[in-house]
Structure 1
Amino acid sequence: MTRSELSQYLSEFLQVAKYKDYAPNGLQVEGREQIATIVTGVSACQALIDKAIELNADAILVHHGFFWKGEPQVITGMKQRRIKALLSQDINLYGYHLPLDGHPKLGNNAELARRLDITGAESLEGVAQGLVWQGRLDKPMSAKAFSARLAQVLNREALHIGDEEGEIQTLAWCSGGAQDYIDIASELGVDAFISGEVSERTYHSAIELGVHYFAAGHHATERYGIQALGEHLASEFGLTHHFVDIDNPV
């Protein structure tokens, strides 16, 4: 598969043009033309790049890439070292942020629903670019029991705000740094809202709105979309795929 073929396929498959984002989606650092081996991971950190070099990858696909709005535009220090490593080994870097959160089949939010056994999962079209999802559990369960399910599935203990004996059945969620969408969850009338990160203000919002809140980890809630994308590309085009999970407790 060529570099441009992969770019075009992913642009269409992930509906990149649909999203107004904070970083470029698609090819961010150009490497070799032919791609046979891909590495996927959550963030384009040095540890992931080093592992991709070790695995002789032709391309790295990440959820969190480079060139975010508001960051310094110069290529110095940490950014220089990362990009230099990619260029010296002729490795392509692709980044897909919001398009990977919102994909209806294998995005981060779709994968959370599948892994947490949430039924009737659907995104709220026209609200927050379709990034907030809602669904329900087959049977009501206590907040304490749902916290245990989150910990088991995501391999990370979630912070829960609310009465641990309170009952949960209806949910809304948005992976990553989406704590302020708790207001949307409240308007939906759901029992609980899940996101990755939490802020000081989130505690008061959850208590006053009467919504159970679970901060399950930015990395943990966004681990599975990029992995599913890599598996899809391997199946569709016969690419060799390695998912590399660089541990991150945040």
Structure 2
Amino acid sequence: MAIALNTLVEEAERYLNASRIQDYCPNGLQVEGRPQVSRIVSGVTASQALLDAAVEAEADVVLVHHGYFWKGEDPRVVGMKQRRLKTLLSHDISLLAYHLPLDVHPEVGNNVQLARQLDIVVEGPLDPENPRTVGLVGSLVEPMTASDFARKVRIVLGREPLLVEGPQMIRRVGWCTGGGQSYIDQAIAAGVDLYLTGEASEQTFHSARENGISFIAAGHHATERYGIQALGDYLARRFALEHLFIDCPNPV
């Protein structure tokens, strides 16, 4: 079955409520391809590797979390950007990208989906006083040590996480997928036993150690694989389309 590209874009916009969320990039249709869609290829980042795989899979739309045209980037269409855009345009493939709208969505969002993978019961936002903060707090069904939880993260995500182990058992967790290490202060204020995100900065170690909590950096890419899959699955079910998630390896 095929549907109009505009219909797909309109439904993604409605479902994610994307126009209401301020972001660092344009959300929605970033590159327009053929007018009819029957096959979606999704992935975390619109890298050349994903685009090449999408061409091989005969995709009509590439659906990603990390697209193009970020604020402050060089606007010239040269080098890597030229090659990526040329691949899309020469094969008449659309690029559909959702950044923060995908992080915060209550059903297919990266943070909610990661919680489901790790058996964390969502309790609420990481910082209820600041609606712009991306991240959640929740509890484990059964308390465990930080090293046991890190082992679970490794098994589920298929990547060895960085662990800063604190003294207490892990009952309450704060998390923000991707590059959310700067939210560790909000996590500490929320009274969590462990804060999990994708990346770490030098000062993150000291914040965790001196405030007596555990910290896990599980990888930007690894923590953000699940939202885009869930969104692709939703759109595929909604319109009876084909959907293929392609995971291009990224150790970061």
Whether these two folds match at TM > 0.5 is yes
Mapped partners of 1:237, 1:87: distance in 2: 24
Amino acid corresponding to residue 24 of structure 2 in structure 1: Y
- 1:153 is matched with which residue? 156
Structure 1, unmatched stretches of 5+, are none
Per-residue CA deviations over 1:11-59 (Å, capped at 9, x if unaligned) read: 1101112321111000000100001100000000001000100111000
Match of 2:20 among 18, 21, 26: 18
- 2:10 is matched with which residue? 8
Match of 1:141 among 141, 144, 159: 144
Q: Which moved more, 1:125-134 or 1:229-238?
A: 125-134
Matches within 5 A, 1:100-139: 100-124=102-126, 125-127=128-130, 129-139=132-142
Q: What is the root-mean-square deviation of aligned Cα atoms in Å?
A: 1.2
Matches within 5 A, 1:161-180: 161-163=164-166, 166-180=168-182
Is the Cα–Cα contact under 8 Å of residues 63 and 228 in structure 2 kept in the other structure? yes
Structure 2, unmatched stretches of 5+, are none
Per-residue CA deviations over 1:175-224 (Å, capped at 9, x if unaligned) read: 00000100000110110111000011111111122221100100000001
- 2:213 is matched with which residue? 211
Is the Cα–Cα contact under 8 Å of residues 45 and 64 in structure 2 kept in the other structure? yes
Tell me whether 1:181 sits opposite 2:183 in the alignment: yes
By how many angstroms is 1:65 displaced? 0.3
Say which SS state the counterpart of residue 49 (structure 1) adopts.
helix
Mapped partners of 2:34, 2:122: distance in 1: 42
TM-score normalized with structure 1 length? 0.97
Mapped partners of 2:75, 2:108: distance in 1: 32
Is the Cα–Cα contact under 8 Å of residues 172 and 190 in structure 1 kept in the other structure? yes
Aligned length: 249
Identity %: 51
Mapped partners of 2:122, 2:12: distance in 1: 26
Amino acid corresponding to residue 169 of structure 2 in structure 1: E
Inter-CA distance 182–128: structure 2 relative to 1 (3 Å threshold)? farther
Say which SS state the counterpart of residue 5 (structure 1) adopts.
helix
TM-score normalized with structure 2 length? 0.96
